[in-house]
Chains A and B, each alone.
Chain A
Amino acid sequence: RKEVEQDPGPFNVPEGATVAFNCTYSNSASQSFFWYRQDCRKEPKLLMSVYSSGNEDGRFTAQLNRASQYISLLIRDSKLSDSATYLCVVNMRRYGGATNKLIFGTGTLLAVQP
């Protein structure tokens, strides 16, 4: 089983639509969670951190369910500029006391259509 799993998509949605991405992780000791956005041939950039209580940033809402080891990202009122790959990222505990590591999901491709 992959450490972080996402539906690769693509998700093709019209402008103004609401779209949700899901992500599951295998390591129950994972400590923190993020959503990154990656545009074609560019480096990933942090979109938002994911907190246990859920958090919102404008049109973006992130949720975490530790019991189910599940993270979600909701985008409301989609814009053309939201078209990108959305990466679920988990900060995983590394056994033996070494530094934690950031593990990326495969990413979900979103294409917002005019």
Chain B
Amino acid sequence: DVVMTQSPLSLPVILGQPASISCRASQSLEYSDGNTYLYWFQLRPGQSPRRLIYKVSNRDSGVPDRFSGSGSGTDFTLKISRVEAEDVGVYYCMQGTHWPRTFGGGTKVEIK
């Protein structure tokens, strides 16, 4: 199985400051069709997971443009340019290239 390793585990951030979450896969996530199926999800307390980013860098409809995804191969990053109070929650990366699908362990974003 592909192991997805996220860091840091916890990310205290000052409001208005940037935040960055790393996600590393144990093998390349580039699929035979040329796409890289790496997703980012946000899980707020008491809510269902929300997809933020698909195929590395594509922002979902309604997701603020302060969220951005980047990376290739095995190394990926989610960045929040200026953290707002509503961004508090746990963020997960997930690979959709190999079976079984696997998630990272999560990064808890909190306000410092």
Partners in one complex: no
